[in-house]
Amino acid sequence: MTGKKPDSNGRGSGGVTLSDVARLAGVAPMTVSRCLNQPDSVRSETRLKVQRAIDQTGYVQNRLAGSLATSRSRLVAVVLPMVTNPIFSDTFEAINECLTRSGYQVLLGISGYQSEQEQELLDVILSRRPDGIILTGTLHTPASRNRLRASRVPVVETWDLSPEPIDMLVGFSHEQVGREVAHHLLALGYRRFALLAVNDPRGLRRAESFIQTLAEQGIGNVAQQVFTGLPTLAHGRSGLSVLLDDDSRSTQGPLMIVCTSDTIAHGVLTEAAARGIQVPQQVAVMGFGDMNFASHTFPALSTVRIDGALMGDCAARMLLERMQEQGTASDARDIGFSLVQRESTRRLDDIGQ
Are residues 148 and 258 located together in one domain of the fold? no
Phi, psi torsion values for 303, nearest 5 degrees: -165, -175
Q: What is the CATH number of the domain that holds 33?
A: 1.10.260.40
Q: What are the residue ranges of helices labelled H in 38-171?
A: 44-57, 63-70, 86-101, 115-127, 142-151
CA 72, CA 149: separation in Å to the nearest integer?
A: 18
Are residues 85 and 166 located together in one domain of the fold? yes
Are residues 46 and 34 located together in one domain of the fold? yes
Are residues 93 and 204 located together in one domain of the fold? no
pLDDT, residue 6, reads 39
Residue 225 lies in a domain: yes
Are residues 290 and 325 located together in one domain of the fold? no
Q: Give the strand pairing for 75-80 and 132-136.
A: parallel
Number of domain units in the chain: 3
Are residues 150 and 224 located together in one domain of the fold? no
pLDDT tens digit string along 167-215? 999 999 999 999 999 999 999 999 999 999 999 899 999 999 999 999 9
Are residues 180 and 237 located together in one domain of the fold? yes
Are residues 199 and 298 located together in one domain of the fold? yes
Instruction: Give 6-10's long-range contacts (Cβ < 8 A, gap of 24+).
Output: 9/56, 9/57, 9/58, 10/56, 10/57, 10/58
- Going 131 to 323 to 101 to 39, the CA torsion angle's sign is negative
CA 301, CA 28: separation in Å to the nearest integer?
A: 58
Q: What is the CATH number of the domain that holds 234?
A: 3.40.50.2300
Are residues 179 and 300 located together in one domain of the fold? yes
Helix (H) or strand (E) segment spanning residue 34? helix 29-37
pLDDT, residue 56, reads 85
Residue 112 lies in a domain: yes
Range of the domain at 251: 174-305
pLDDT, residue 66, reads 53
Residue 3 lies in a domain: no
Residue 349 lies in a domain: no
Are residues 35 and 99 located together in one domain of the fold? no
Q: 170 has which bridge partners?
A: 158, 333
Residues 6 or more apart whose CB falls under 8 angstroms from that of 43 comprise none
CA 238, CA 198: separation in Å to the nearest integer?
A: 13
Helix (H) or strand (E) segment spanning residue 187? helix 174-187
Q: Which residues of the chain have pLDDT under 50?
A: 1-14, 68-69
Are residues 165 and 138 located together in one domain of the fold? yes
